[in-house]
Amino acid sequence: MEVLVFGGTTEGRLLVEWLSGRDTCDVVACTATEYGEQLVSGGRRVRTVRGPLSANDKHRLMHAHEFACVVDATHPYATHISASVEHMAEEHGVPLIRIVRDEGGAGDWTSVADARAAAAHVAHTGGNVLLTTGSKDLDEFVGAMEDVERRLFVRVLPVVASLRRVAELGIPVSHTIAMQGPFSEALNVAIMREFGIAHVVSKRSGRAGGFEQKVAAARACAAELVVIERPCVDDGMRLEQAMEEMERRYGV
């Protein structure tokens, strides 16, 4: 039996590890980045495919295998990838399991619709800004803020692509924090206090993404938390539910 997993998230890693440990199926794990591939590689009967995959790539993959099901464990904000995976599964008549993440956290924060709105908001405030949403939307903040070199601090993955992007946009090395999360409340607090952070920009990444720790740290440092809300309401299963469903329906 074969299972196709689109992952690169904590949930995707945990699912692939679980499937590999059971040794009941072969797993093809697709990730968009080198970092995502590192999360899921190394298990028994696991083969990784690093993307992004075109529509033709997906068709070839589906024709080359007989998957019992397709699992979408991609990032909650990667709605375009989820849509393409759903379309692929429907087109090939393969059942789809969508894993969703607990939103987690409870508290007061400033909600915005997207990165552009977050950039516009912090551009008109005072004090230093800590951007914890990675390098993908960094250009929005560089374009909106007049004093980027002084006010903006970025926390990104310690991978070549992210660091190259940061350098291309002119963020000083002294304002670049290259670390892999999720981060504890204590470490978040230490970073915020070290750099005098007044505003923290985050996605609502849930418990797996360390969102609750950011909420607590921002509160402890009296910093404003600016949250880019999820683009849509997730429709799917929690990780534990997905595991139970796969065991019940497919015997994995």
Sign for the CA dihedral angle at 25, 30, 31, 34 comes to positive
Q: Mean per-residue pLDDT for 4-16?
A: 88
More confident residue, 1 or 205: 1
Question: Model confidence over 76-125: pLDDT tens digits?
Answer: 777 888 889 999 999 999 999 999 876 655 567 898 889 999 999 999 99
pLDDT given at position 232: 61
Q: Do domains 2-101+234-250 and 110-228 have the same CATH topology?
A: yes
Q: Which residues touch 21 (CB under 8 Å, ≥6 apart)?
A: 43
Question: Model confidence over 53-81: pLDDT tens digits?
Answer: 888 999 999 999 999 999 999 877 778 88
Q: Mean per-residue pLDDT for 46-57?
A: 88
Q: Is 3.40.50.620 the CATH number for 110-228?
A: yes
Burial class (CB in 10 A: 0-12, 13-18, 19+), 179: exposed
CATH number attached to the domain at 2-101+234-250: 3.40.50.720
pLDDT given at position 106: 53
pLDDT given at position 107: 61
Q: Mean per-residue pLDDT for 17-36?
A: 88
Q: How many other C-beta atoms are found inside a 10 Å radius of the C-beta of residue 130? A: 28
Going from N- to C-terminal start, the domains of the chain cover 2-101+234-250, 110-228
pLDDT given at position 235: 73
For residue 46 the two structure tokens come to 């696991």
Q: How many other C-beta atoms are found inside a 10 Å radius of the C-beta of residue 62? A: 18
